[in-house]
């Protein structure tokens, strides 16, 4: 009974605290603007099945993909045993599914053990790739500090999870022989049926019970800790990769979204607009174009930032980064997420100092619509980075979960050029030529003069 009460208390604390953090993540994602989507649910679910569940794009680099697959599939199958642990913890039973499922249970536990062994090997490989082989994409400037530590911590946590499973199943296999009345037979499982007696055989029953309980509690406590750690980790993609793939844009790569205000204005200037259409009055305030901060992005952009696995595949294929320029598509996503986190924390304070100065007299409640802390994405993402992008879509193609860093880059560049009337000095003549002559190059004749 004491164990049941303790388990219930730990579970309630873990889920309530974790739930609050996940709600804050949702709030931060919804800082972005709502946007209409073309609903093609068939194509979207196909992407989820092939890319999110099926890991299709991971296999463009098959060596890390195989080891990642071990961990991924082990994670999915282990949820079966995790459900059983919850039932056992709440109702004070042991191996609840074993007598119900019989031989199927033996097969499931054997599968979990074999997959866990593969996950153990994969975890060691990934630790070696990060810390011994020092794969270049894991050692870019943006990966210094917390991102590097985060990548290692989650792998250490994975080892603890696996240690818990092997201790629990191994000691239990011996206890089934020592005390069959209290320990239901699981059958001849793939690993624990021989590994348990080999490691724990000959120990006293009290010691075996302690080892089994240690493995049981270690596994569930690491799961609870993992649940509360995820909102602060790149491994949030375990959950968010699926909605990110579902909501990802379906149009061909390289197809940019038109800005209706600009398109209509250009059509009006060229006489291509509808009859009776009027140009924007000269005295009317010019709207802001593009994006300056998180609230100007689409919520899908912010979701993508939180879904980023920080694997660095986008940066490793970026031609600008390869040639030594400052741009790193991964950093763009990380900076966007960090800015959303910063805004979220300031919104939580409710402080009126973050209300736009012009509205402080009339509004006393801090919201995303009146928020202004004097900062923006441009404080983290330099214009040098934005200008280095060639819009080649290599980063978009490389991402295993369909994240599009180019969307954010283009929106920031549009703000700089259209709203601030700024931009690189060597771009200005091109814009002027397009505006005046409809062509990139400055030529003395009209663009269509050749036709005459």
Residues 189 and 326 reside in one and the same domain: no
Torsion, Cα of 112, 114, 120, 126 (10° steps): -100
Residue 325 lies in a domain: yes
Residues 179 and 324 reside in one and the same domain: no
Summarize pLDDT for 46-72 with one digit per residue, the tens. 999 999 999 999 999 999 999 999 999
Helix axis angle for 205-229 and 146-178, nearest 10°, is 150
Q: What CATH number does the domain containing 304 carry?
A: 1.10.1060
Residue 394 lies in a domain: yes
Q: 86: which 2 tokens?
A: 């919850």
Summarize pLDDT for 158-188 with one digit per residue, the tens. 999 999 999 999 999 999 999 888 888 888 9
d(CA 418, CA 238) in angstroms, rounded, equals 38
Residues 292 and 213 reside in one and the same domain: no
Residue 248 lies in a domain: no
Q: Label residues 118-146 b or e (16+ Cβ within 10 Å = b).
A: bbbebbebbbebbeeeeeebbebebbeee
Residues 162 and 89 reside in one and the same domain: yes
Beta carbons of 219 and 168 less than 8 angstroms apart: yes
Residue 97 lies in a domain: yes
d(CA 422, CA 420) in angstroms, rounded, equals 5
What domain range is 85 assigned to? 2-30+61-232
User: Cα–chain-centroid distance for residue 27?
Assistant: 15
Residues 308 and 225 reside in one and the same domain: no
Summarize pLDDT for 322-349 with one digit per residue, the tens. 999 999 999 999 999 999 999 999 999 9
Under the banding of pLDDT at 50, 70 and 90, the label for residue 423 is confident
Residue % of the chain over a pLDDT of 70: 95
Residues 110 and 219 reside in one and the same domain: yes
Give me the mean pLDDT over the 101-107 stretch.
91
Residue 44 lies in a domain: no
Residue 195 lies in a domain: yes
Residue 208 lies in a domain: yes
Helix axis angle for 62-91 and 103-131, nearest 10°, is 130
Residue 136 lies in a domain: yes
Residues 212 and 290 reside in one and the same domain: no
Residues 194 and 88 reside in one and the same domain: yes
Residues 102 and 222 reside in one and the same domain: yes
Q: DSSP letters of 144-167?
A: TTHHHHHHHHHHHHHHHHHHHHHH
Domain count, the chain: 2
Residue 270 CA: distances (Å) to CA of 258, 276, 361, 435: 17, 14, 44, 11
Q: What is the reported pLDDT for 289?
A: 86
Residues 197 and 326 reside in one and the same domain: no
């Amino acid at each position: 009974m004491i164990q049941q009460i303790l388990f219930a208390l730990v579970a309630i604390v873990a889920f309530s605290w974790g739930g609050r953090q996940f709600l804050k993540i949702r709030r931060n994602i919804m800082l972005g603007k709502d946007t209409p989507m073309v609903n093609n649910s068939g194509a979207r679910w196909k992407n989820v099945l092939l890319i999110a569940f099926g890991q299709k794009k991971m296999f463009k680099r098959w060596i890390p993909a195989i080891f990642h697959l071990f961990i991924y599939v082990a994670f999915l199958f282990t949820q079966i045993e995790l459900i059983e642990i919850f039932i056992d913890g709440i109702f004070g039973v042991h191996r609840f599914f074993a007598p119900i499922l019989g031989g199927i249970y033996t097969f499931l536990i054997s599968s979990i053990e074999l997959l866990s062994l593969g996950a153990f090997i994969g975890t060691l490989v990934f630790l070696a790739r990060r810390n011994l082989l020092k794969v270049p994409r894991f050692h870019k400037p943006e990966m210094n500090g917390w991102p590097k530590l985060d990548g290692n911590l989650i792998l250490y946590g994975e080892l603890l999870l696996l240690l818990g499973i092997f201790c629990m199943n191994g000691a239990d296999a011996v206890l089934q022989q020592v005390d069959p009345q209290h320990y239901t037979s699981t059958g001849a499982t793939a690993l624990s049926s021989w590994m348990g007696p080999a490691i724990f055989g000959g120990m006293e029953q009290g010691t075996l019970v302690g080892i089994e309980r240690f493995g049981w509690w270690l596994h569930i406590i690491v799961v609870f800790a993992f649940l509360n750690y995820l909102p602060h980790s790149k491994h949030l993609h375990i959950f968010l990769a699926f909605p990110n793939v579902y909501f990802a844009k379906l149009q061909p790569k390289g197809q940019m979204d038109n800005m209706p205000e600009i398109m209509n204005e250009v059509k009006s200037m060229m006489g291509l607009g509808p009859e009776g259409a009027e140009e924007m009055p000269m005295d009317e305030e010019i709207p802001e174009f593009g994006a300056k901060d998180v609230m100007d992005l689409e919520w899908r952009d912010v979701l993508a930032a939180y879904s980023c696995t920080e694997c660095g595949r986008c940066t490793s294929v970026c031609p600008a980064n390869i040639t030594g320029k400052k741009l790193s598509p991964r950093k763009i996503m990380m900076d966007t997420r960090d800015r959303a986190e910063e805004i979220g924390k300031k919104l939580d304070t409710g402080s009126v100092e973050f209300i736009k100065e012009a509205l402080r007299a009339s509004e006393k409640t801090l919201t995303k619509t009146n928020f202004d802390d004097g900062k923006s994405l441009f404080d983290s993402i330099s214009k040098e980075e934005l200008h280095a992008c060639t819009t080649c879509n290599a980063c978009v193609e490389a991402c295993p979960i369909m994240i599009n860093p180019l969307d954010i880059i283009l929106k920031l560049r549009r703000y700089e050029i259209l709203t601030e009337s700024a931009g690189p000095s060597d771009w200005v003549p091109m814009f002027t030529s397009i505006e005046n002559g409809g062509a990139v190059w400055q030529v003395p004749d009209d663009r269509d003069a050749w036709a005459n």
